[in-house]
């Protein structure tokens, strides 16, 4: 065997080894592809590579055996399929590039939309900051400017009572009493509105708190009202969850004091407080045997300053349940009421347990 034949066979076998390595690489690419069109193209390329590899081996064998006619035929076949292989590679590349270009354009469009959304979000954030500044100004006005005239009225009434108390007569004393009561109610309303506006305005972290302890402290603070009304408070096991501690205590106190306040005549209030898990939330319930709430008013009661009863029937500012709603929403929860009018009601609210 001549040196030329040995060299030719060596080159052919080296090409076969390279083709075999390409086969393994193509197989790995095929496994990585998710697009079915890509997979189909690379499957065809894989089969053509197998054919080329077998063609390399057959060519080496023919050269070794000296079958010149078969070698010419095989060379023509290999060149034909070689051209076909190159064409498929080019087409696959073009398809891949076009697809990637389309995806790139889509990503650019999404990026532009995201940029526009971020700009809109920034505008909204700026508007919220402006609102917060207005709210701070309102808080100042409510706590100083609006209450100053009320303090003046109360001072003048005190002076009138002191200097002319015996000269005004029964009607005069009654008029002064009406003015004093009206000023006190206005002062309480302003104070309640100020407290409502402050809810959720401070950037403070949640803290894990044992709701059993919070409820115990609330019951102690309402001890006088509980004793005065012979109320029976039954508290189940409550969870330990991340909350805004002071706001959570205010929520408990508002719901419990309402359950005691809105009782039926000559009936001792009975309040049952429970908690349970509801997905990623903790659900609380406050059930009572009070007067209940008509169905048509079950949404209205959470509106600020919305009262269902006259001041002569039940005292208060009409803002307590609005406070409750805002506090629950601060904890990413919901609050609602179910009631059998005349037999009592149950307030439910959920708190995100994180």
DSSP bridge partners of 344: 340
Q: Which of 6-15, 173-182, 267-276 has the lowest mean pLDDT?
A: 6-15
Contact 260, 232 (CB under 8 A): no
Higher pLDDT: 72 or 181? It is: 181
Distance CA 302, CA 323 (A): 8
**pLDDT tens column, 72-121:** 455 555 655 655 565 566 556 556 656 766 777 888 888 888 888 888 88
With 80 as the cut, is the pLDDT of residue 267 above it? yes
Check residue 314 and give its pLDDT.
54
> What pLDDT sits at residue 23?
65
Q: How far apart are the first and last CA of the chain?
A: 82
pLDDT score, position 199: 64
- Decide: 290 and 337 in contact? Cβ < 8 Å: no
pLDDT, position 178: 77
Tell whether the model's pLDDT for residue 274 goes beyond 90: yes
Task: Please tell me whether residue 333 adopts helix, strand or coil conformation.
Answer: coil
CA atoms within 13 A on the CB side of 226: 14
pTM above threshold 0.85 = no
DSSP per residue over 275-341, as a string? EEEETTEEEEEEEE-S----GGGTTGGGSTT--SS-TTTS-S-S-HHHHHHHHHHHTT--EEEEEET
Average pLDDT, the chain: 76
What per-residue confidence (pLDDT) applies to 239?
Answer: 93
Residue with more model confidence, 161 or 330: 330
Q: Which of 287, 230, 236 is nearest to 259 (CA)?
A: 287
* Report for 2-11, 195-204, 320-329: range of highest mean pLDDT: 320-329
pLDDT at 7 (0 to 100): 61
Count of helix runs (H) and strand runs (E) in the chain: 9, 7
pLDDT computed for residue 50 by the predictor: 74
Residue 1 has a pLDDT of 58
pLDDT at 301 over 90: no
Tens digits of residue pLDDT in 222-261: 888 899 999 999 999 999 999 988 888 889 988 998 899 8
Question: What pLDDT, on the 0 to 100 scale, is given for residue 116?
Answer: 86
More confident call, 310 vs 88: 88
């Amino acid at each position: 065997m001549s040196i030329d034949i040995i060299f030719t066979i060596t080159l052919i076998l080296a090409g076969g080894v390279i083709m075999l390595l390409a086969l393994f690489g193509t197989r790995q690419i095929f496994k990585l592809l998710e697009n079915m069109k890509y997979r189909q193209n690379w499957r065809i390329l894989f089969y053509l590579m197998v054919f080329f590899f077998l063609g390399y081996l057959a060519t080496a064998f023919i050269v070794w055996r000296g079958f010149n006619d078969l070698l010419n035929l095989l060379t023509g076949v290999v060149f034909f399929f070689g051209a076909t292989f190159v064409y498929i590679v080019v087409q696959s590349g073009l398809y891949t590039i076009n697809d990637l270009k389309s995806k790139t354009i889509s990503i650019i469009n999404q990026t532009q939309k995201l940029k526009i959304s971020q700009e809109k979000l920034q505008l909204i954030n700026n508007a919220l900051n402006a609102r917060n500044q207005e709210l701070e100004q309102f808080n100042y006005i409510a706590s100083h400017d609006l209450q100053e005239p009320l303090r003046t009225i109360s001072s003048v009434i005190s002076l009138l009572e002191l200097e002319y108390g015996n000269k005004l007569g029964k009607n005069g004393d009654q008029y002064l009493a009406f003015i004093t009561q009206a000023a006190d109610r206005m002062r309480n309303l302003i104070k309640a509105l100020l407290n409502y506006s402050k809810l959720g305005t401070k950037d403070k972290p949640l803290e894990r708190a044992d709701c059993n302890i919070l409820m115990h402290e609330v019951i102690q603070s309402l001890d006088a009202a509980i004793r005065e009304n012979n109320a029976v408070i039954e508290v189940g096991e409550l969870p330990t969850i991340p909350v805004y501690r002071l706001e959570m205590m205010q929520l408990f106190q508002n719901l419990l004091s309402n359950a005691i306040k809105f009782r039926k005549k000559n009936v001792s209030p009975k309040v049952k407080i429970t908690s349970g898990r509801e997905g990623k939330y903790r659900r609380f319930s406050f059930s009572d045997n009070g007067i209940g709430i008509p169905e048509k008013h079950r949404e209205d009661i959470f509106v600020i300053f919305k009262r269902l009863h006259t001041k002569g029937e039940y005292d208060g500012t009409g803002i307590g349940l609005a406070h409750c709603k805002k506090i629950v929403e601060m904890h990413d929860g919901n609050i609602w009421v179910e009631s059998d009018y005349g037999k009592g009601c149950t307030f439910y609210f959920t708190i995100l347990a994180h």
